Amino acid sequence: MIRVATYRRSYYERNKVLLILSIIVMAAGVLILLSTFMTWTSGKTGWGLIGSFSQAGRSYTNNPFYNYGGGGYIIFSGLLSVIFGSLIALAGLIMLASFSRSLSGLAIFASFVASVLAIINTVTIFRQGSGMGTGMYVFLIASLAALITSSTTQSSSFLVPRAVEDVEDDRDIGPRYRGRG
C-alpha cells in the first residue's frame, strides 16, 4: 500500500530592503574606519591616541587599546575603531554579496561594542572640556547607525512568500503504523 503525503511548499523572492540595509551597514563600517584618521580631540586623531599623551593637564599611560590618566578618565584609541570598523564593514559586505542575514549577528555585536566605545570617549572628552573633533562625531554617529541597521536586518523577515502550493508525493513520512491494516 502506497500512502500519498501532501505537504506545502513555498517559494520565496528576495526583498530589496536587505540590500539597502547591508549597504548602510557596510558604509557605516567604512566611516568608522575613516573616522580613526580624523581629529577626535585636542588636535589628536584616533590613531594618534595610541600610546601615551598629555591632554588637559593629565598624562595618560601607554597602551595600544586605551589610555588612562587617573581620576576615572579613560579614552579608547583608534586601534579599536579600526578593528570594529573593519568587522562591521566585512559583515556588511558579506551580507551584501550573499544577499542573506548570515553575519548580521557579528555586525550587531561589533557595532554595539563600537557604540559603547564611542559613547565612553564622548563622555570623557566632554568631562575634560577639551573639545570634540569631527572624527569623534563621525565615529559616534556611524557606530549608532550600524547598530540600528544591523539590528533591523536581524529582526525583520526579508524573504517574502511569492507562491504557496500543495504538493502530493508518494514519500513515506514517518514510521508505518503497525496496528490494523
pLDDT of residue 23 exceeding 80: yes
* Residue 3 within a domain: no
pLDDT score, position 180: 57
89 or 43: which carries more pLDDT confidence? Answer: 89
Residue 9 in domain: no
- Percent of the chain exceeding pLDDT 70 equals 67
CB proximity list for 32: less than 8 A, separation 6 or greater: 81, 84, 85, 88, 89, 114, 138, 139, 142, 143, 146
Q: Rounded CA gap, 120 and 136, in Å?
A: 11
What is the structure's pLDDT at 57?
60
Q: What is the span of the domain harbouring residue 39?
A: 26-51+73-168
Our count of domains for the chain comes to 1
Domain contains 35? yes
Does residue 144 lie in a domain region? yes
Q: What is the arithmetic mean of pLDDT over 25-36?
A: 96
**DSSP H or E segment with residue 123:** helix 104-128
Tell me the pLDDT band of 156, cut-offs 50, 70 and 90.
low
Q: Helix or strand or coil: residue 96?
A: helix
Domain contains 7: no
In tens, the pLDDT along 110-139 reads 999 999 999 999 998 888 877 889 999 999
- Considering the domain boundaries, does residue 163 fall inside one? yes
Mean pLDDT estimate for the chain? 79
| Residue 61 maps to a domain | no
Give pTM, 2 decimals: 0.74
The verdict on residue 121 lying in a domain is yes
